[in-house]
Amino acid sequence: MPFPLPLEALVGKPLMYLIFGLIGFGFGFVLEISGFGNSKKLAAQFYFKDMTVLKVMFTAIIVAMVLIFTMVGLGVLDFNQVWVNPTYLWPGIVGGLIMGVGFVIGGFCPGTSLVAASTFKVDGVFFVLGGLFGIFLFGETEQYFDTWWNSSYYGRLTIMDWLGLSTGVVVVAVVLMALFMFWAGEKLEHRFGGVDQKRAPKWRYAGAGVLLAAAVGVLLIGQPTTESKWQRVATVKDAALVNREVQIHPGELLASLGDDALRVVVLDVRPESEYNLFHIQGAQNAPLDQLPSFIPELHAKQAANTVFVTVGNDEEAATNAWKLLTAESVPNVYILEGGINNWLATFEAEGSEIQATPTPMPGNDTLKYVFASALGDRYAAAAPSPHEWELEYTPKIKLQIQRDKSGGGCG
């Protein structure tokens, strides 16, 4: 099974916390021995006298990037299971500017201030206290600018998605950019800080070469396709399909839609023309041929109580959508049993504007009803009341444990 590993399930909470503690200690230790507990050293980068922060942090970034996408390319790591912070463009830009000004004035970022405080540096302690006060103040005032704070939302956006480039090309480009920044940083140190670069270790050139070679390796290896991802899980997941473990009864979908403890995302994978004729109220139109473009958004929507349900006219298209989402590690995905045809057979009253065709239409995934008008979700059957229907069915929805959010960088 690809990484990340579910540590709690494998080793239990006590050992999991110990592992997290050791990783945190190691990170803090590296920051301290790199001089990141010294505000003067940190602030010196803004005067181009000491670019250690730039070199250390960007080295960490590109090494992690190369290792991550090497493991993804080899099929060891599932990148869809790696938390990527959702992008809120303008709040992020303003927040970055505020943090940058604070970094220049105070000489610390949040992470390095904790390193300084742990070694009892007075400026580090006061910076941490100021940060905690800022968090408190933000929490008490966020309600007044909540709309802006949640504006310009782009979801789980990566450079690959933004520029439409392959992962390997982006990895090589970022490594080259970082190496250029290291070279430029050394030139600035020499000019403004009087640093003699002749005394710098020569092995750094070998390290740069190894990183660049590894980045080219990522480009050559490539990244797994949806089809190859499906093949890795097909044995287990095909059994779930055959055993009808993921096909949920219309009654269970209706009950789930009315359950405040669940967040149900209904994905109608039919063409837009059929979606416009009739669809379940609240369903999102995600045509099967366009569904891959929805994957980043679906990952951004993930929460512990989120359930995704694919819907077609019958089950063929919905099953193909289920396979795609399952291969891309979208959790808690189910199929509406019998699709829209079964939904209407269950909830549509006789004598309404929706009529079953006298002779079933050919095809396994054909809409077997005719409509007086294309009213979408304005038909009564689009939003039946969960309290008025008591249907017998076997509950199948079981929420999987979600990966949690994680922080990154020195913040």
pLDDT tens-digit series, residues 193-202: 888 888 888 8
279-288 tens-digit pLDDT: 999 999 999 9
Q: Give the lowest-confidence range in 3-17, 51-65, 89-103, 263-277.
A: 3-17
Average pLDDT over residues 164-189: 95
Strands 284-285 and 263-268 turn out to be parallel
Contact 307, 256 (CB under 8 A): yes
Q: Give the lowest-confidence range in 31-40, 48-57, 180-189, 295-304.
A: 295-304
If one compares 181 and 411, the residue with the highest pLDDT of the two is: 181
Q: How far apart are CA 339 and CA 367, in angstroms?
A: 9
What is the share, in percent, of the chain residues with pLDDT greater than 70?
A: 93
Tell me the pLDDT band of 343, cut-offs 50, 70 and 90: very high
Backbone angles phi, psi at 248, to 5 degrees: -100, 145
Q: What is the mean pLDDT of the chain?
A: 89
Model pLDDT, residue 405: 56
Model pLDDT, residue 198: 83
Look at residue 361 and tell me whether its pLDDT is greater than 70.
Answer: no
Task: Return the DSSP state at 77.
Answer: B
In the numeric block, the tokens 């009950």 are attached to 255
- Enumerate domains of the chain plus CATH numbers: 7-224 (no CATH), 227-388 (3.40.250.10)
If one compares 349 and 317, the residue with the highest pLDDT of the two is: 317
Average pLDDT over residues 226-232: 91
User: In which element (H, E) is residue 364 found?
Assistant: none
Q: How far apart are CA 273 and CA 258, in angstroms?
A: 27
In the numeric block, the tokens 């549509």 are attached to 348
Closest by alpha carbon to 41, among 153, 129, 116, 100? Answer: 116
Model pLDDT, residue 82: 85
Model pLDDT, residue 360: 60
- Whether the predicted model's global pTM rises above the 0.75 cut: yes
Look at residue 277 and tell me whether its pLDDT is greater than 90.
Answer: yes
Q: Give the lowest-confidence range in 49-63, 199-213, 343-357.
A: 343-357
Model pLDDT, residue 242: 94
Closest by alpha carbon to 135, among 98, 93, 84, 86? Answer: 98
Strands 333-336 and 306-311 turn out to be parallel
Can you list the positions of beta strands (E) in 151-246? 153-155
Look at residue 1 and tell me whether its pLDDT is greater than 50.
Answer: no
Centre a 10 Å sphere on the Cβ of residue 124 and count the other Cβ atoms it contains: 23
Tell me the pLDDT band of 177, cut-offs 50, 70 and 90: very high
16-63 tens-digit pLDDT: 999 999 999 998 898 888 889 999 999 999 999 999 889 988 999 999
Contact 288, 195 (CB under 8 A): no
364-395 tens-digit pLDDT: 789 888 888 899 999 989 999 988 888 899 99
Look at residue 8 and tell me whether its pLDDT is greater than 80.
Answer: no
CA-to-CA separations, 213 to 65, 73, 199, 353, in angstroms, rounded: 13, 15, 26, 66
Q: What DSSP string describes 267-302?
A: EE-S-HHHHHHB--TTPEE--GGGGGGGHHHHHHT-
Tell me the pLDDT band of 160, cut-offs 50, 70 and 90: very high
Look at residue 409 and tell me whether its pLDDT is greater than 60.
Answer: no
Contact 269, 310 (CB under 8 A): yes
